[in-house]
Amino acid sequence: MNKTIYLTGILLGALAVILGAFGAHGLEKLIDAEAIQTFETGVKYQMYHALLLLILGTMKQLPEVKKKLIFYFLLVGICCFSFSIYLLATNSLTSFDFKVIGLVTPLGGTLLIFGWSIFGYRVYKHFN
């Protein structure tokens, strides 16, 4: 499981760098400044959580079984939150109205909060 957590964190981190560069340089003439800021929010949250996955993978104190639930909450949360933001920010570039998936963003945020909460609880229980 640690290997999966590491590789996922690395992949999501690298993808955040690529998407951040794309947002800063490839989208600047295609979407307005507010949409670029929205896109950058998705990139930031993706990178924060990619780093959290790397930290989770290094936590020798937590057994792999305890990490699994945290990993899944964070992974699905990142996909729902950040990727829906990318689609919403670039909505004007497509013929499909991504606003219909707008509820996926807060669902992703909720999953991220649950991931952090479970992580905090498991660390707290381990050190008490």
pLDDT digits (tens, 9 = 90+) for 106-123: 999 999 999 999 999 999
What is d(CA 62, CA 75) in angstroms, rounded to the nearest whole number? 18
Q: Which domain holds residue 56?
A: 2-127
Better pLDDT: 116 or 94: 116
pLDDT at position 108, please?
A: 96
The count of structural domains within the chain is: 1
Q: Which of 17, 22, 29 is nearest to 92 (CA)?
A: 29
**Angle at which helices 64-89 and 33-58 cross, to 10°:** 170
3-state helix, strand, coil in the chain (%, to 5): 85, 0, 15
Q: List the single range of 28-37, 47-56, 75-84 with lowest mean pLDDT.
A: 28-37
- 8 A C-beta contact, residue 73 and residue 49: no
Identify the CA nearest to 57 among candidates 42, 39, 43, 75: 75
Residue 61: predicted pLDDT = 86
